[in-house]
Structure 1
Amino acid sequence: MEMRTTTQLANFLQICIDKKSHVNAKLLHAHILRKGLFTDTFLSNRLIELYHKCGLLTTARQVFDKMPNKNLFSWNAILSAHCNTGDIENAHKLFDKMPERNAVSWNTLISVLVRAGYEQKALSLYNNMNHSGFLPTNFTLASVFSACGALLELRYGCVCHAVANKIGLDKNIYVGNALLGMYAKCGDVENAVKAFEELPQVNEVSFTAIVGALGDTDHVDEAFDMFRSMHRSGIRIDAISLSSILGVCARSGINESGGSSVNGQQLHGLTIRLGLEKDLHLSNSLLDMYAKCGDMNSAEMVFDSLLEVSVVSWNVMIGGYGQKYQIKKAIEFMQKMQRFGFEPDEVTYINMLSACLKSGDTETAHGIFNKMASPSLSSWNALLSGYSQIEKHKEALRLFINMQFRNVKGDRTTFAVLSSSCASMGLLEGGRQIHAASVKNLCDDDIYVASGLIGMYAKCDKINVAKCIFDRIKDQDDVVCWNAMIAGLSLNTLDKEAFVLFKNMLENNMLPTQFSYATVLSSCVKLSSISQGRQIHARALKDEILNDVIVGSALIDMYSKCGHVDEARLFFDQMSIKNTITWNEMIHGYAQNGHGSEGVALFEEMVNKSGEKPDAITFIAVLTACSHSGLIDYGIKIFNSMLQEHGVEPISDHYTCLIDSLGRAGRFNEIEVILDKMPYTNDPILWEVLLSSCRVHLNVNLARRAADELFRMNPCNSAPYVLLANMYSSMGRWDDVRNIRELMIKKQAVKDPGYSWFEQKDEI
């Protein structure tokens, strides 16, 4: 009879568990107590489970504590109850007290630690599990791979992958998806694709993870191909997978305005066809995609059609208009947001700050910042970064001082931005104070802070301090610090050392970036070392980075400045992608090497056929080409077309090129007309160029005018004294020569000795 009662009670308890009926549960609990059945471990375990499912943790714990006979299921049930309600501290204490454990016990605590963001503790617990002789299950490994991905622990993830292979769990769908996600988060797209391909069966989770991995690593076309494959294979496309591929469109849309927007529109159509347009998260992804692609008209249409909006929706719109420098629209949306009862959050304010600063409206940005009751560190950093980007470096430093007064501790972003500002101003003392503050806040070991400090000290002529910081960096597996050090050496004319460091970088199995190649090619130029330049060219070819427009432009510059303009043109013609910088380098290369006619012809091709718009640098290059080829009248025509046809305001360098061209031809009357009209009179290079032309053509009056201007600007510069003395000596005016020499001694203007060099077997 008692057996039948126990079974009936167990069945009733199961019904209450299924229906989460805590009122009936208490009636059953009272009946169990009245009948003296509380000693029945099975019924008590069901009560713990019941109260846990009804969210009554305290009652469940009371049942557990009063149980006279606990078994492993009892311990696991109450452990699960504490874990599921987020009571991790008491869950840990329970786990430590357990008289025995099984795989369920370990998995329960490991998974909750990962979900709660305690990934490092989860991995430590996993190690203890292994040492205790328990084999991981598919649930264990899924949690462990998730932890490795969150911590970017690629090496440890690979070790766990080997364990999964050894015990035969690598083909399990849950483990396989978690493994794929781990490789994706760690940026190892090659192994992510391999893990995907090795899955015996794939589902929407697998496809979503691989699409995200490809998109995050800029394999945009492959990401779209994978999504199309998912669609063709008949796997259910849900809101999450669509949000993932829209994220790929959004990220690529920042750099490519056309193709990404078209793909995004197709995905928008698919969203409507699948009836998912009411999903708020997916709608926000659509908004973000259109905003990042710069299509704010479509974004606003989507926004206006939403049945439900969130703070995220408003933030995306405000951020999108900020990206387009439409500050009035951004402010309008923030005001609308508040009228509709939505309170701006931190992201709202950061988006508004960014919008104002990108538009150069520092006053409004400050006003918004001051309205924030308690600005977070992210808000401070947003304002700091904005000031730095628009080159208001003094304001950035003042803001940091204000941070100190308000006891706001900086982080890696703070100190990296401030180091950059100090470097831009050449402010060594300020940079040292930032360095000291980063040490105090334990941020100096961070790779980005250290790289910023290396750049700051290098620009302040303290390259030895920069070397010390570089040598002390513990984790030199990041290319950022190598790039900063190579650039610092090159900046301080230690180009041979920069080249050696680049080779060391390769020996350490570091993959150079476009910045690495551009910097070391610049060093080859300054060393006039064509052999080393060709070595870099070969390495760039091996690394398949020659299609990068920055590397290609640097190679053209290197070949041109080393006197191999034909090789530069050969590479120029082979480039699949060119921009204005590429055309400028090639035109300038022709000008430097005395091929002015070819430079002018290339300029005509650029303007009339390429679709690229010439900028100020383009006109310096083509005017130099005209000067070197004696195309004076054509040069004047190009100069006059700058503002009228191309909207480029002439600057001092353009006037210098024009005066050089006219001076070589001895057309000094035209030069004097230009000198009287031009707005730039304090450029020493312009007057040196004029003085040099006057010396050749023995124009004493204009030469004296140019020399007087140079004496006024810098009395210690030896160039005007030497040029003027040489002109007088060629005319036999020895008294004037002597006067110039005496004046030079009086002003303590010392001429630097000239030197030349040649290259033989990689030695200078």
Structure 2
Amino acid sequence: MWKKWSEQIANLLESCITHKSLRVGKLIHAHILRTGQASDIFLWNRLIDLYSKCNDPMSAHHVFVKMPERDVFSWNAMLCSLCTANKLADAQILFNEMPQRNVVSWNTMISGFVKTGDHAKALDMFLSMIQEGLLPTRFTLASIFSACGVSSELHLGRLCHGLAIKVGVYKNMYVGNALLSMYAKCRCVDDAFCAFADLPDPNEVSFTALMGALVETQRVEEALNVFKLMHRNKVCIDAVSLSSMLGVCAGGQGDDLLYKVHERLLHGLSMKLGFQNDSYLGNSLLDMYAKNGDMSSAEIIFQNLPEVSIVSWNIMIAGYGQMYRCDKAMELMERMELCGFQPDEVTFINILTTCIRSENVEVGQQVFDRITCPTLSSWNAMLSGYSQIGNHDETIVLFREMQFRNVKPDKTTLAILLGSCAETGLLECGKQIHAISLKAYLNSDRYVGSGLITLYSKSGKMDIAKSIFTRLPEVDIVCFNSVIAGFSLNSLEKESFDLFNIMRRRNMLPTQFSYATMLNCCAKQSLSSQGRQIHARIVKDGFMCDIFVGSALIDMYCKCGNVEGAREHFDAMPIKNVVIWNEMINGYAQNGFGTEAVHLYSCMMIEGEKPDEITFTAILTACSHSGLVDEGIRIFESMQTEHEVAPTLDHHTCVIDALGRAGRLHEAEFLIKKMPCKDDPVIWEVLLSSCRVYTNVLVAQRAFAKLFSLNPSSSTPYVLLGNIYSAMGRWEEARAVRELMTDKNVGKNAGHSWTESNIEDWTGDSYGYYVSQLQKALEIMLGNHSHFTIAILGSNARLFVAEPICHASQSRG
């Protein structure tokens, strides 16, 4: 009789647990207490289980305390109740007090830590369980694989994989899916495929995890093939699987016809499967079209969503932001507010990003001012905006306001600020940012370190920059590029080459920035042989079609005097932008090929490329150096009328120089008087320099008088006018100019020049012999009043000459 009554009560409690009927369960509990049948430990355990499943840990604990006797099931039931209520600290205490623990006890604790996100603690518990000599079950391993995936504990995950095979549960659906997800999160796609192949009957979770791993590693085609396999095997396709594949098509491949076909097919499949009213899938469709720039389709989806949420609005705003449509993004935010939605942090970040991409920082500032309590991401967005448009002073001011509001910077903040300090030469401010990075323990970050290197490099502090580089715990290609560029900027080309070779020995693949910097080093020193070696490496590494590398190659060959080599590379470039055209035109100009430069400029116009200020500087220089005066004037006059480019000082200087070289000094003087920049000393220096060739004293005297009024302390006008008088044999006037220069206490720094000679055949005793003979010949040729040095660098002899004061300095233009 008693046994039958106990079974009935147990069945009733089981029904209450299944249906989570807390009220009925309490009535049964009261009945047990009234009948005085409280000695059955099985019923007490079921009561704890009931309160646990109904999320009433207080009642469960009350039952546990009142129990006259407890077994391991009682302790496990109470443990489960605490873990279900996320009271892991209390559960840990209870676990430590247990007189006896079994696998269920350990599984309960491990699962509890995994669910609350304390994966490190879950892994520690698992290792302790193994040390206790207990074998894991499928529940243990499923939880552990999940923890290993989130924590990227790949080594431990592999060990547990072997353990799962040994225990014989690796083909279990839950264990297999957890194992597959772990490899997917650790981006071990081949291992994920193996785990997938071991599953006897993969379900939608298996396929979705595998597709996610392929997408994360950019193996998009394979992800699409897995989805097709899933569809062919008639595996249930749910909203999550479809959303995952829609994310694949939202990967920025909007211009690819294949991806457009796939996105339409997936859209049609979602409609066919009846998911048109699923809000989650609707937002995924919206996100796919928005990221691919198809805003017309996105608008249609948006209008037909069964339920518009803040997420939907944010996706639309981000979509227009990606297209630099600041006006549409702002309009959407206004509509969103009219519909009763309050912008959240994501909304403001999307709007700020849109404004920054559109370089509309003023509107961005207005949006930023609306945020009651801006997050660090919002501050960083605004700082980045001001920095990108070159308003570095405002960047610093905004950061100071951020400090006043007690918002702590992160590595992104400091990297932006260091970039602004480097661009504006604010070394002291940069040092303060450096101090902040030390205080926040961010100085060892690679991005902050790279910013510090750039700051000190541009300030001429290469010793500090190099010290920062060597102290970084981990360096990447960006850090190497920063130091290499710093050496080049400070004319330390040898150090640039040495560090570049170190980078190569570490098996780091140079970027286009690395190669552009090294080519610049070769160009500055006219190292044609090293330049050809770099060119060979560029071909090998596949950077020949890069615009930055291409322009640097043209510049290097032109500065080394190999214009034909530069033109061959120019013709081989598949895509030419204005930078490439400018480099080649400038190369012709600097090497005296004026006719070729003008012809190339005409080809540029025929190709439909729009010239800029640099184009006109290059072509006008070419006309000036080659005596193409009328051609130069025609191009100069077409700047504003045909191309809407306002002439700058450099353009005017080139025209004045061209007229001066042709002896048309009065035309040059007349043009200067009409120029908006007629008070710039450079223009008058160019005119005065031209007067020496044609011994036009009257124009020279007027140019000297103008220069004297503009800058009496400059030595250039005195030297130029003195040389003109000397060339005409008017020694008294020349002496008067030198005396005036002395009276005004004006001194002239020695000029410098160098030449290069190939000495590959100089060996042994002949090496020193040729150097001494070269030195004697130069003493005879230059005279004792000149100072020179012969430097031997590799296979090149370099002559360094300090010019005497009587030599005229070459003017710009």
In which range does the TM-score fall when normalised by the shorter chain? Answer: 0.7 to 0.9
Instruction: Specify which of 574, 579, 582 is matched with residue 581 of structure 1.
Output: 579
Distance 1:676 1:744, change over 3 A: same
**In structure 2, how many angstroms separate the alpha carbons of the residues matched to 1:213 and 1:705?**
77
Which letter maps to 2:549? V
**In structure 1, how many angstroms separate the alpha carbons of the residues matched to 2:577 and 2:143?**
47
Deviation of the 1:26 alpha carbon: 2.3
Distance 1:528 1:167, change over 3 A: farther
Distance 1:131 1:585, change over 3 A: farther
Contact 1:79 1:94 in 2 (8 A): yes
Contact 2:691 2:700 in 1 (8 A): yes
Alignment match, 1:26: 26
Instruction: Specify which of 261, 267, 274 is matched with residue 263 of structure 2.
Output: 267
SS of match in other structure, 1:754: strand
**In structure 2, how many angstroms separate the alpha carbons of the residues matched to 1:489 and 1:208?**
50
**In structure 2, how many angstroms separate the alpha carbons of the residues matched to 1:73 and 1:602?**
89
Alignment match, 2:439: 440
Distance 1:530 1:209, change over 3 A: farther
Alignment match, 2:497: 499
Contact 2:691 2:699 in 1 (8 A): yes
Distance 1:548 1:361, change over 3 A: closer
SS of match in other structure, 1:429: helix
Is 1:655 matched with 2:658?
no
SS of match in other structure, 2:369: helix
Once the two structures are overlaid, the 10-residue window that deviates more, 421-430 or 316-325, is: 316-325
**In structure 1, how many angstroms separate the alpha carbons of the residues matched to 2:279 and 2:70?**
46
Deviation of the 1:592 alpha carbon: 3.3
Once the two structures are overlaid, the 10-residue window that deviates more, 480-489 or 276-285, is: 276-285
**In structure 2, how many angstroms separate the alpha carbons of the residues matched to 1:249 and 1:531?**
48
Alignment match, 1:450: 449
Once the two structures are overlaid, the 10-residue window that deviates more, 128-137 or 335-344, is: 128-137
Distance 1:368 1:735, change over 3 A: same
Contact 1:196 1:206 in 2 (8 A): no
Is 1:617 matched with 2:621?
no
Alignment match, 1:62: 62
SS of match in other structure, 1:464: helix
Alignment match, 1:51: 51
Contact 1:146 1:182 in 2 (8 A): no
Q: Gaps spanning 5+ residues in structure 1: where?
A: 185-190
Contact 1:260 1:293 in 2 (8 A): no
Deviation per residue, 1:264-310 (Å, 9 max, x gap)? 57515532442244433443344444444555444434323322222
Alignment match, 1:407: 406
**In structure 2, how many angstroms separate the alpha carbons of the residues matched to 1:608 and 1:274?**
50
Is 1:730 matched with 2:727?
yes
Alignment match, 2:425: 426
Once the two structures are overlaid, the 10-residue window that deviates more, 448-457 or 38-47, is: 38-47
SS of match in other structure, 2:186: helix
Which letter maps to 2:662? A
Contact 1:16 1:50 in 2 (8 A): yes
Which letter maps to 1:183? C
Alignment match, 1:182: 185
Deviation of the 1:142 alpha carbon: 6.3
Instruction: Specify which of 219, 223, 227 is matched with residue 224 of structure 2.
Output: 227
SS of match in other structure, 1:252: coil
Which letter maps to 1:267? E
Contact 1:387 1:393 in 2 (8 A): yes
Distance 1:471 1:17, change over 3 A: same
Which letter maps to 1:563? G
Alignment match, 2:506: 508
SS of match in other structure, 1:755: strand
Once the two structures are overlaid, the 10-residue window that deviates more, 563-572 or 196-205, is: 196-205
Contact 1:716 1:750 in 2 (8 A): no
Percent sequence identity over matched residues?
51
Alignment match, 2:463: 464
Contact 1:252 1:260 in 2 (8 A): no
Deviation per residue, 1:167-191 (Å, 9 max, x gap)? 648887425532443334xxxxxx5
Contact 2:150 2:182 in 1 (8 A): no
Distance 1:251 1:453, change over 3 A: farther
Contact 2:376 2:409 in 1 (8 A): yes
Contact 1:358 1:390 in 2 (8 A): no
Deviation per residue, 1:203-243 (Å, 9 max, x gap)? 666665666666666x5xx5256325533662666544554
**In structure 2, how many angstroms separate the alpha carbons of the residues matched to 1:704 and 1:244?**
80
Once the two structures are overlaid, the 10-residue window that deviates more, 226-235 or 405-414, is: 226-235
- Per the normalisation by structure 2, the TM-score is 0.79
Which letter maps to 1:653? D
Deviation of the 1:426 alpha carbon: 0.9
Which letter maps to 1:177? L
Deviation of the 1:398 alpha carbon: 2.0
Alignment match, 2:415: 416
Distance 1:330 1:16, change over 3 A: same
Alignment match, 2:565: 567
Contact 1:314 1:337 in 2 (8 A): yes
Alignment match, 1:487: 485
* Structure-to-structure mapping, 1:588-607, within 5 angstroms: 588-607=586-605
Deviation of the 1:418 alpha carbon: 1.7
Contact 1:552 1:582 in 2 (8 A): yes
| Cα RMSD, aligned residues only | 4.0
**In structure 2, how many angstroms separate the alpha carbons of the residues matched to 1:736 and 1:105?**
108
**In structure 1, how many angstroms separate the alpha carbons of the residues matched to 2:142 and 2:699?**
82
Distance 1:758 1:209, change over 3 A: farther
Alignment match, 1:519: 517
Once the two structures are overlaid, the 10-residue window that deviates more, 15-24 or 200-209, is: 200-209
Alignment match, 1:188: none
Distance 1:337 1:495, change over 3 A: same
- Per the normalisation by structure 1, the TM-score is 0.84
Once the two structures are overlaid, the 10-residue window that deviates more, 432-441 or 733-742, is: 733-742
Alignment match, 2:784: none
Instruction: Specify which of 664, 676, 697 is matched with residue 679 of structure 1.
Output: 676
Which letter maps to 1:345? D
**In structure 1, how many angstroms separate the alpha carbons of the residues matched to 2:678 and 2:193?**
66
Contact 1:157 1:182 in 2 (8 A): no
**In structure 2, how many angstroms separate the alpha carbons of the residues matched to 1:49 and 1:268?**
50
**In structure 2, how many angstroms separate the alpha carbons of the residues matched to 1:210 and 1:690?**
74
Deviation of the 1:620 alpha carbon: 3.4
Once the two structures are overlaid, the 10-residue window that deviates more, 615-624 or 699-708, is: 699-708
Contact 1:599 1:622 in 2 (8 A): yes
Contact 1:193 1:210 in 2 (8 A): no
Which letter maps to 1:352? I
Deviation of the 1:427 alpha carbon: 0.9
**In structure 1, how many angstroms separate the alpha carbons of the residues matched to 2:606 and 2:184?**
49
Contact 2:79 2:95 in 1 (8 A): yes
SS of match in other structure, 1:259: coil
**In structure 2, how many angstroms separate the alpha carbons of the residues matched to 1:379 and 1:509?**
38
Alignment match, 2:339: 340
Contact 1:141 1:160 in 2 (8 A): no
Once the two structures are overlaid, the 10-residue window that deviates more, 131-140 or 330-339, is: 131-140
SS of match in other structure, 2:753: coil
Deviation per residue, 1:433-461 (Å, 9 max, x gap)? 22222222333232222222222222222
Deviation of the 1:675 alpha carbon: 2.8
SS of match in other structure, 2:407: coil
**In structure 1, how many angstroms separate the alpha carbons of the residues matched to 2:584 and 2:229?**
47
Once the two structures are overlaid, the 10-residue window that deviates more, 39-48 or 496-505, is: 39-48
Deviation of the 1:523 alpha carbon: 2.5
Alignment match, 1:310: 309
Which letter maps to 2:589? A
Deviation of the 1:52 alpha carbon: 2.9
Deviation of the 1:109 alpha carbon: 4.5
Deviation of the 1:495 alpha carbon: 2.4
**In structure 2, how many angstroms separate the alpha carbons of the residues matched to 1:102 and 1:602?**
85
Alignment match, 1:187: none
Contact 2:496 2:518 in 1 (8 A): yes
* Structure-to-structure mapping, 1:323-402, within 5 angstroms: 323-356=322-355, 364-402=363-401
SS of match in other structure, 1:55: coil
Q: Gaps spanning 5+ residues in structure 2: where?
A: 761-792, 797-813
Contact 1:296 1:320 in 2 (8 A): yes
